[in-house]
Chain A
Amino acid sequence: MRKVPFYVFVSALALFFFAFLIFPLFGILKSSVWDGEHLTFAYLAAVFQNQNIRASFFNSLFIGVAVTILTTFLSLPLAYFFTRTTFPLQRLFQGLVLLPMIMPPFVGALGMRYLFARCGSVNLLFGTDIDWLGGGGLFGVVLLEALHLYPIMYLNVTASLASLDESLLESARMTGAKPLTIWRKIILPLFLPGYFAGAILVFIWAFTDLGTPLIFEYRNCLAVNIFDRVTDMHSNAVGYALVLLMLAATCVFFLISKTLSKDVRVISTSKGAQGTAGKKLNALTLVFVYAFLAAVTILALLPHFSVILVAFSDKWFMSILPESYTFRHFAGAFTHKLAVSGIRNSLFLSSAATACDIVLGIMVGYLLARNKGWWREGLDALIMLPLAVPGIVLAFSYLSTFSGTRLDPLKDPTALLIICYSVRRLPYIVRSVYAGFQHIGEAMEEAGRSLGAGFARVTREITLPLLSTHITAGAILTFAFCMFEVGATILLAAREWDYPIAKTIYTLNMRLGDGPCIASAMGVIGMVLLGSCLLISGALLGKKMGEIFRGSSN
């Protein structure tokens, strides 16, 4: 890249990130420790002294840890079965276990209430009175998030296991090492970095999720606490301290996982050595494997099933299944004023954010893959930072920074929503594009230059066409996630006609009458949309799908 456009671009990028990431977050820090005239720790002290807040912090921590552990236990056997063994119907199950990704957990929560509430279907069926959602909804939150997030863990663990070439283990065995030694010295060191990279994404997601607790009306967690304080954010600085607490926690955990997942470059082994073709299973093991897979699949699809049921239910009150069924709510989803504008808004915002991310993603991917300057690591860290910044934190910081400016979200949240979505999802598209650049190799571009083509021509005719798969896949994923971004959406969109889908579902759900059913119908529509998006990008990316959901770009 020529020097001048290079510096112009890097400066523009730095400016963008400064304005929409660093500066707003710094504002949070400032407002938490500055009362306008003096440095003060009163707000932070208030946060730590408040028993409710302390409890909500530990509840959120519990949710994060419990979800991480649950997803680990769900995905480890899955990854092992799929990478190390072969059995009939393997591919079908491989697809099925990824299905939970197509529905955000807060949508699943809409339906799961009908099944598992005190007077829900399950208790009615068995004549019991068990509080399945436990602890005021806490268990429900954990369950729903675990069921939604285990595919991310699974993709990471699978990638990690797949990189553990059989020849590496064989050569260890040839030295006479005992199985335990091989586990300790070879398998774990190679496997854990990938695991931690996935675990941190799952943890942060669960730790900071706002949608699911809101739908389950579980208010005693950090995200909901922050949400409750948005209304008086300008008069009460405790909200800022709370946001700072959440941000600090996610950053600390992010750094820990970064350290733990560092520095394993897996060298791809020679052509002949990929002898990881799985073991054939004997009948007994096969039965066990099928039982496990069936259990996971049924459990994972329960939320989907329940939402579909609610969306089609005509009357459902104190009965195991709906008394009658109807298409009415889908008609509602396409005609109800709020629903229609919600879908339209989300389509527009997500498309705009995706377009923005495509441009930024290609440029950043190029810088990371094709330059070796000292600033490279810094840029990488900056781009990946949004992974550690929860949507709700970013949105809160925007609210405080841009109120009263031309970007004031109360007047029109469009610009800030687009920017917020872009910043939050940039890591995913950058990772996809970066993988593409690595894949095509620099020689492809150099060959073009050596034949006399300039930077623009090489980019247009060689680089972009070769990258198109990775760009498309990354873009589709970005789009899909923007459509169901919850935290930022609920905070930033204040007027009904500005509501994107997530907030429409939340609002409709609270209305009496058909509200929850129309919300579920919208959830089903979203599910179909998200499902198609993931299907397409999965087909484009093939096995590399996992790379996009990893915690480090290398």
Chain B
Amino acid sequence: MSLKIENIKKSFGTQPVLKGLSFEVVEGEFFFLLGSSGCGKSTLLRIISGLCDPDEGRIFFDGEDVTKLPAEKRGVGLVFQNYALWPHMTVYDNVAFGLQVRKLRKDEIADKVAKVLRDVRLEGLEKRYPAELSDGQQQRVALARALVIEPKLVLLDEPLSNLDANLRLEMRSELRRIHKELGLTMIYVTHDQKEALSLADRVALLHEGKLEQLGSPTELYKRPQSKFAAGFLGETNFMQGKALKLSGTNWEIETLWGTSLIPQDQAVGVESGKALYISVRPEDLRLTGEESAPNFQAKILENNFLGDTTQLVLESKGERILVETLSSSHLKVGELIKVWPKVEDIMIFGE
């Protein structure tokens, strides 16, 4: 099912939470709403589910306006952050509920419940009560309950936030498998950028009730369209710089490593003669390179061993710079080293 959000606005009291959001989700997409807490992502999910009415704007399912349709008529599967499993019902009853509401025959219900419990790998736990399940199992029941009604759209509200790190990784691949197998349109709310980057077809980054950027994980990571987006997804260094002039399709900018040419499509809001931020990811700073390529000198302040990689904290002309590198055990704190930025992966933002 495709989904269209059109200029959705919502306030709680005098506090605007959503300030006019519009975007579309195509059929079969694994779509992420990403943002820090309070950015309005959960509210938007509740509005899509019908549990909450927007103040303004419209919502379309497959081109049909459902803004006024109550939640129980939308046929959307919803997985709650705290699962909201009914403690007085067994796993079977929890999952069967949506089918009973739809007045399916008993044997049909039994078949569908059995199938969905197989899908989420919970066979044999039908008679247990939620209190007798582990966190991960509860999470699967919540998912099964949402999936069993064969919704065309599944909404997930931070579904993995209550799980420990290992279980979260496991459930992430489970979700990917289920999405692939069932071919559902899924909208997933999270504040965890790693979840979004690893699972999403496309991500909508929300900030203070507005759409900050919409695109594939790679686009968001490699070509963030704002300083906020660059900072929110992954780690990055913001260095001071200055725009000198636009020559052809490139900006001539003043940087730590001298004057540099940056293609226009890597620049956002840059103006001639004005200061700007240069965003360079820690992994885009190399410790080796050709002498003729752009580079700068920096002093090592810290050398932090992280297991698979090493994080260096450097200082150059008053800027504090993070570098991620594979092997650096020979580097000593206080030592001066040369650093080569990957200019093709740099983004620049006007102040």
Contacts and interface: CB of A to CB of B under 8 A. Distances in A.
Given A446-B78, A447-B78, A461-B97, A452 B84 contact: no
B239 interface: no
Contacts of A452: 72-73, 75, 98, 101-102, 149
Contacts of A411: none
Contacts of A444: 84, 86
Interface string A449-486: 11111100100011001100000000000000000000
A446 B76 CA distance: 12
A441 interface: yes
Contacts of A462: 86
B188 to A, nearest CB: 16
A450 B87 contact: no
Interface in A478-504: none
Report which residue of B50, B84, B87, B102 has the largest number of chain A beta carbons within 10 angstroms of its beta carbon. Answer: B84
B97 A446 contact: no
Given A449-B51, A450-B72, 6 more contacts: A446-B78, A446-B80, A450-B49, A452-B149, A453-B98, A466-B86
Interface string B88-106: 1000000001100110000
B101 A457 contact: yes
Query: Closest 5 CB pairs between A and B?
Result: A451-B98, A443-B84, A450-B78, A447-B84, A449-B71
A448 B76 CA distance: 11
A443 B79 CA distance: 10
Given A446-B80, A447-B145, A449-B51, A454 B72 contact: yes
A451 B97 contact: yes
A448 B77 CA distance: 10
A37 B30 CA distance: 78
A465 B86 CA distance: 10
21 contacts: A441-B82, A443-B80, A444-B86, A446-B51, A446-B78, A447-B80, A447-B84, A449-B50, A450-B49, A450-B51, A450-B146, A451-B72, A451-B77, A451-B97, A451-B101, A452-B98, A452-B101, A452-B149, A453-B72, A454-B72, A466-B88
Contacts of A461: 97
A443 B81 CA distance: 9
A71 to B, nearest CB: 37
Interface of B: 49-51, 70-78, 80, 82, 84-88, 97-98, 101-102, 145-146, 149
Given A452-B101, A453-B101, A441 B75 contact: no
Contacts of B97: 448, 451, 453, 461
B69 to A, nearest CB: 12
B46 to A, nearest CB: 8
Interface of A: 441, 443-444, 446-454, 457, 461-462, 465-466
Contacts of B71: 446, 449-450
Nearest to A450: B78
A451 B80 contact: no
A447 B72 contact: no
B298 to A, nearest CB: 40
A460 to B, nearest CB: 11
Nearest to A462: B86
Contacts of A447: 78, 80, 84-86, 145
Contacts of B98: 451-453
A457 B102 CA distance: 12
B153 to A, nearest CB: 11
Nearest to A457: B101
Contacts of A446: 49, 51, 71, 78, 80, 84
Given A462-B86, A466-B87, A450 B77 contact: yes
B76 A450 contact: yes
A481 to B, nearest CB: 28
Nearest to B98: A451
B84 A451 contact: no
A97 to B, nearest CB: 32
A441 B84 contact: yes
A466 B86 CA distance: 8
A443 B51 CA distance: 10
Nearest to A453: B101
A444 B85 CA distance: 7
A549 to B, nearest CB: 26
A449 B84 CA distance: 12
Contacts of B73: 452
B22 to A, nearest CB: 24
B44 to A, nearest CB: 15
Contacts of A443: 80, 82, 84
Contacts of A465: 88
Contacts of B50: 449-450
A451 B101 CA distance: 8
Nearest to B157: A443
A450 B82 CA distance: 15
A465 B101 CA distance: 17
B332 to A, nearest CB: 39
Nearest to A447: B84
Contacts of A451: 72, 77, 97-98, 101, 145-146, 149
A457 B88 CA distance: 15
Contacts of A441: 82, 84
Contacts of B84: 441, 443-444, 446-447
A153 B36 CA distance: 45
Nearest to A440: B87
A470 B101 CA distance: 26
A511 to B, nearest CB: 52
A450 B75 CA distance: 7
A465 B82 CA distance: 20
A441 B86 CA distance: 11
A448 B100 CA distance: 11
Contacts of A448: 86, 97
A449 B75 CA distance: 10
Given A443-B80, A461-B97, A449 B88 contact: no
A448 B78 CA distance: 10
A227 to B, nearest CB: 48
A551 B70 CA distance: 37
Contacts of B82: 441, 443
Contacts of A454: 72
Nearest to B71: A449
A453 B74 CA distance: 11
Nearest to B142: A447
A465 B149 CA distance: 23
B89 to A, nearest CB: 8
A461 B70 CA distance: 19
